[in-house]
Amino acid sequence: MASTDRGVPWTASIAFLFFLAGQSAAQIPSAAAGVPQSKERAAAAQKLKSATNTASAQTNLSGRNSSSPDVNTIRKLLETHDQQSTFKLAQLIGQPDPKNATEICSGLGERRDAIFVPVALHGLELQTDPGAQESCARAVAKLNAPEGFDGLNRIALSDQQPATARLAAIRALARATPEQAPSLISLLTNSDPRIRAAAAYSSCQLRMKQAIPGVAAMAADPDPQVRQAALDAISLWPEAFTQQLLTIASNPKESEDNRILGLTALDAFPTEQKTAALVKSVSTLLDVQQPRDVQLASVQLLSQVPEARPALEQFSQKPGVLPEVLTQIEVAGIEPKYTAAEPTSTSASGSYREEHSDNSAWIGVIGGIAGGFLVIGGNLLLEWFKQRAKKKRDEPRKEILRKMLRDERFPERWRKLRTLMHVIGADEATTKRLLIEIGARGSEDGEDLWGLIEDHPFGKKD
C-alpha cells in the first residue's frame, strides 16, 4: 500500500530553486549555483516566476491579504498540482505564521506527490515553531520520496539547524526504511542527549541492527534520564536487547520502576521467543529478598512459559513468600505448599488498591510530616528575617529619640511628642512605640510631653 516513489519533475525543481534565489540569496543550496541554465530551463523558470506573481495577484484580488490566506485558499492551492501552486505554497510556508505552515504541511503529506518535497523541507528549515516543524518533517516523510529522506538526514545531522528542527527530522525518519535513515546511527553518539534519545527511538522503530551497540551503550549511561530514554527505545524492539533488559531487571541498584519496565518489556516477547536462557535468568528473581513488585512481575512473566513451571513450584515452597505472590502463582495453576508470610497489604479485593503497600503509606505520612515541617520552618524563618530587618530599620530612629530626650538645652528633660514625631519622620503610634522601647514615658499632667524614665522616675511629681 506504500505509494510509489516519484522523482521531482526537473521543471519544478529548477523553478523552486529560482524562487529561493529570489527570496534570499543566502538560502540557495550550494549545488544550485552549479546547475546549468539552458534556454529551455530558464524559460520554464521565468514562466513559473510570472505564474507565481499571477497567483499572488489573484489571491489579492480575492480580497484577502496574500500574507495571511484563509484555510480554503491553502486547500485550493494544495488541490492544484502545478508549479504555480507549488510556488505559492513555498512562498506561504516560508512566512512566519506557524498556523499556515502547519495547515500546508498537513495537506502536503496527504498529496503523496514528490513535487511537494522541496516545499515541505523548505518549511522545516525556515519555521521556528516546534509544532510547524513537526508537521513539515512529517509531511516530508509521508511524501515518501528518496530526496525527502535525504533532506531529513541532512537536517538531522546539521549542527547549524535548531535542535527542534533536528528532533522533528529524526522523529520523521522513523517512517523511512532503515536504508533511508543512515544518519540515525551516528546521531546515537551525539553530544546532545535529546538528539541521542530521539535517534534511539527512531532507530529502534526501524529495527536497525547497526543501532544495537549504540542503544545498548545508552542503557548503561550514568545519566538516569539517558538510561530511561534507552529503556523506552529498547521497549520498541525488546527482542534485540534481551541481555540489556535482563541486566536492568536483575540489577538491585537500578530503580524499581526501571526493573519493572524491563520485565514488562521482556514479557512482550512471543512465548516461543522466551528462551531457556531467559527463563533461567528471570527465575533468579524468584527470591523473597527481591522487592515485592519484582517478584510479582517475575511470576507473571514465567507463568506463561511451560518450561518455567518447576521454578515456580520450587519458589512456592520457599518460606516467606508473600501471599499476593502465592496468589499469582496459584492463578498460574500451581498449588502453593507453604504457609505464606504476613501480607504486606490489608486490602483483600482485586482492586488496584492492592498495589499500595504499607511502605507507601509510611512514605506518605513521613512525606506529609516533612512537608509540614518544611512549610512551618520556612514561615518561621521568614518571620524572623522580617523582624530582624524591622529592628534594624528602627534603630536609627531610636538613637535620635534618645539624643533629643537627653538634650541639655531642655533642663526639664521633657519634649513635645509632635516635635519628636516630626524629627524622626514617623506617625504617632510608631513614635510612641519607639519611645516606650527606649524606656521613655509620657507626662502625668495630661500634656503631650515625653521623657526618659531614668530622668523622670515614677513617684516624682512632674
**Count residues contacting another protein (CB under 8 A)?**
69
Binding of another protein by 307 (CB under 8 A): no
Q: Is 176 in the site for another protein (CB under 8 A)?
A: no
CA distances to 94, 122, 184, 190, 198 from 163, in Å: 19, 16, 15, 12, 11
- Measured from the CB atom, is 42 or 268 closer to another protein? 268
Q: Which is nearer to another protein, 237 or 414 (CB)?
A: 237
**Candidates 13-21, 78-86, 291-299, 452-460; binding stretch for another protein (CB under 8 A):** 291-299
**Residues of this chain, 212-231, that bind another protein according to CB under 8 A:** 224-226, 228-229
Residues 6+ apart with CB under 8 A from 458: 441
Q: Which of 82, 330, 355, 395 binds another protein (CB under 8 A)?
A: 355
Of 206, 146, 119, 208, the closest CA to residue 171 belongs to 206
CB 190 within 8 A of CB 220: no
Integer angstrom CA distances of residue 412 from 443, 448, 456: 12, 14, 9
Q: Which is nearer to another protein, 313 or 354 (CB)?
A: 354
Cα 327 to Cα 8, 19, 236, 237, 336: the distances in Å are 63, 71, 31, 31, 8
Rule CB under 8 A: is residue 162 a binding residue for another protein? Answer: no
Could you say whether residue 458 binds another protein (CB under 8 A)? no
Neighbours of 268 (CB within 10 A): 11
Stretch that binds another protein, among 41-49, 151-159, 364-372, 452-460 (CB under 8 A): 364-372
Should residue 453 be labelled a site residue for another protein when binding is judged by CB under 8 A?
Answer: no
Q: How far apart are CA 114 and CA 239, in angstroms?
A: 35
Q: Please, which residue, 55 or 245, has the CB nearer to another protein?
A: 245
The nearer residue to another protein, 13 or 228, going by C-beta atoms, is: 228
Provide the minimum distance between the beta carbon of 431 and another protein in the complex, in angstroms, as a whole number. 24
Task: Check residue 350 for interaction with another protein (CB under 8 A).
Answer: yes
For the chain, how far is it from start to end, CA to CA, in angstroms? 110
| Residue 75 contacts another protein per CB under 8 A | no
Q: Is 332 in the site for another protein (CB under 8 A)?
A: no
- Nearer residue to another protein within complex by CB, 198 or 326: 198
Q: Collapsing DSSP states into helix, strand and coil, what is residue 448?
A: coil
Shortest distance, CB of residue 357 to another protein, whole angstroms? 8
Q: What part of residues 237-256 is at the interface with another protein (CB under 8 A)? A: 238, 255-256
Within 394-433, which residues bind another protein (CB under 8 A)? none
Radius of gyration, CA atoms only, the chain: 39
Q: Residue 323's closest CA among 334, 338, 312, 301?
A: 338
Q: Which is nearer to another protein, 121 or 261 (CB)?
A: 261
Is residue 343 involved in binding another protein (CB under 8 A)?
Answer: no
CA distances from 361 to 257, 351, 394 (A): 18, 17, 49
Chain residues 93-152 in contact with another protein, contact rule CB under 8 A: 102, 110, 112, 129-131, 134-135
Among 11, 80, 300, 344, binds another protein (CB under 8 A): 300
- What's the rounded Cα separation, in Å, for the pair 258 and 79? 49
For residue 419, report the phi and psi dihedrals to the nearest 5 degrees: -65, -45
Q: Which of 43, 57, 71, 375 binds another protein (CB under 8 A)?
A: 375
User: Which of the stretches 22-30, 145-153, 307-315, 358-366 binds another protein when contact is defined by CB under 8 A?
Assistant: 358-366
**What is the C-alpha separation between 12 and 16, in angstroms, rounded?**
6
Helix (H, G, I), strand (E, B) or coil at 397: helix
Q: Do 104 and 97 touch, CB atoms closer than 8 A?
A: no
**Rounded CA gap, 86 and 67, in Å?**
16
257 makes contact with another protein (CB under 8 A)? yes
Q: Name the residues that contact another protein, by CB under 8 A.
A: 1-3, 102, 110, 112, 129-131, 134-135, 167, 171, 174-175, 193-194, 197-198, 201, 205, 224-226, 228-229, 232, 235-236, 238, 255-257, 260-261, 263-265, 267-268, 291, 293-294, 296-297, 300-301, 350-356, 360, 363-364, 367-368, 371, 374-375, 378, 381-382, 385, 388-389, 392
